[in-house]
Amino acid sequence: MAAEGAAMIGGGAQFSSGSAPGGCFDVAVVGSGIVGLGAAYAAVRRGLSVVVIERGARITGATIRNFGHLCIGAQTGEARGYADAARELWLRLARDAGFWLRESGTLIAARHDDEFRLIEAAAAGGGIRLLDAQELADAAPVAPGVAVGGGVIETDLQTDPRVAADRIAGFLAARGVEFRMRTSATGVSSGRVDTTRGSVSAGTVVVAVGHDIDQLLPHVADDAEVERCALDMMRVQAALPKPLGAPLLTGWSLVRYGRFARLPEAVFVREHLHRQRPDLAAIDLNQMYTQLPDGSLLLGDTHVRDSVASPFQSEDAQQAILDEASALFGIAAPRVIERWQGVYASAPRDFLRCELDPGVYALAVTTGIGMTCGLGFAEHVVAAATDISAPA
Ligand SMILES: Cc1cc2nc3c(=O)[nH]c(=O)nc-3n(C[C@H](O)[C@H](O)[C@H](O)COP(=O)(O)OP(=O)(O)OC[C@H]3O[C@@H](n4cnc5c(N)ncnc54)[C@H](O)[C@@H]3O)c2cc1C
């Protein structure tokens, strides 16, 4: 029987959350989202003892609220480096921890010539295959006549975020990582994490609390100009004309992801979309879709950046998401199964990384690509902090 307050996640692996304070570890990680899990994985692979301190009784942050879209080939620069590293880690974890992940690539539907020209320009860099209108119609369940063509980003992966995080945590627990759930960190300093259940000693401390960095380390969040970005999402049952074999992006996605957004052709796409649909521009829509193994479809998403996430979700925005899905797929209104809000940290730079005190690191992915880059980012930070190379 589980001890009082203990949490069962990760396929039955037990996580302590009861009375066991204290302890001495090589590495203490605060936060059990994908960045914290990535840091724990990086540390345990290096033979280090690891404790993960998590405020919740289960993993419920941005890491389980997203599309599960690992959009590696849409990144550029520093993000692409982390995304490439994360790709290898995702593949290995899916195999070792046993969760669903597919090497799906990403489909892009271009509904206007300027969107197609943008995909064409990005494809010149390699890793993106262009599709004409018929090829796109063969590959994706879009309504006839809606798209002029599109593309496939070949490197990309898809997972089910609700399952993957739990499985990774279970796998890490089985490898000796100690999870202290229902335990909030209240302060960090060299060699020490203070928590609501006593203090923990650790040679290296990694703070990976996502947008909650504005609460635990407000000065760090202020310096990096971190805001909270709140997103509306839903899961629906939709009568698609055929299964969606890969995440599906639209022009609204292209103007967000670095590889596309930085190209001169993106200016025309952005201008066109905003002129044609100011209502969707006003809710900062990223019109995209992923289909889960049970056939249900994830739809999203809207973006509101502020110092606090409003608890109130606009029904007009949610209706717009549903209407756009109906138009793109040529289907009747989907049946909504669930609605939720997700929040991630947002800042002018894509990654926040700083050493607060010797051996104490704060990290956050400060744009909506933490599932894509988080494992690689955490690996990079832990490798540098410990100066130990991971076994192959
Ligand atoms: C709706 C939505 C869709 C998205 N879609 C995608 C996508 O398709 N692809 C992609 O790459 N990215 C996507 N993202 C972004 C991605 O989900 C995030 O960047 C990523 O999950 C952030 O991970 P994290 O570990 O930093 O934060 P989180 O997952 O939020 O985890 C932080 C953890 O820290 C814990 N914590 C906070 N404070 C404390 C404390 N004081 N003590 C102990 N624990 C604490 C929290 O309880 C939480 O469990 C999306 C995000 C959202 C919200």
Residue ranges per domain, the chain? 7-63+162-224+349-386, 106-154+227-346
Counting residues of the chain whose pLDDT is more than 70, the rounded percentage is 95
Is the shortest distance between the CB of 374 and ligand 1 below 6 Å? yes
Is the shortest distance between the CB of 173 and ligand 1 below 6 Å? no
CATH class in words for 7-63+162-224+349-386: alpha beta
Fold of 106-154+227-346: D-Amino Acid Oxidase; Chain A, domain 2 (3.30.9)
Is residue 19 predicted with pLDDT exceeding 60? no
pLDDT tens readout for residues 84-135: 999 999 999 999 999 999 999 999 999 999 999 999 999 999 999 999 999 9
Those residues with Cβ within 8 angstroms of residue 375's Cβ, 6 or more apart along the chain or in another chain: 34, 37, 38, 41, 85, 86, 89, 90, 93
Q: Characterize the bridge pairing of strands 69-70 and 149-153.
A: unpaired
Count Cα atoms within 13 angstroms, Cβ side, for 202.
34
Instruction: Give CA separation, 305 vs 283, 287, 345, 348, in Å.
Output: 11, 17, 9, 12
Question: Looking at ligand 1, which residue's alpha carbon is closest to its atom 26?
Answer: 210
pLDDT tens readout for residues 224-253: 999 999 999 999 999 999 999 999 999 999
Q: What is the whole-number distance in angstroms between the Cα of residue 65 and the centre of ligand 1? A: 8
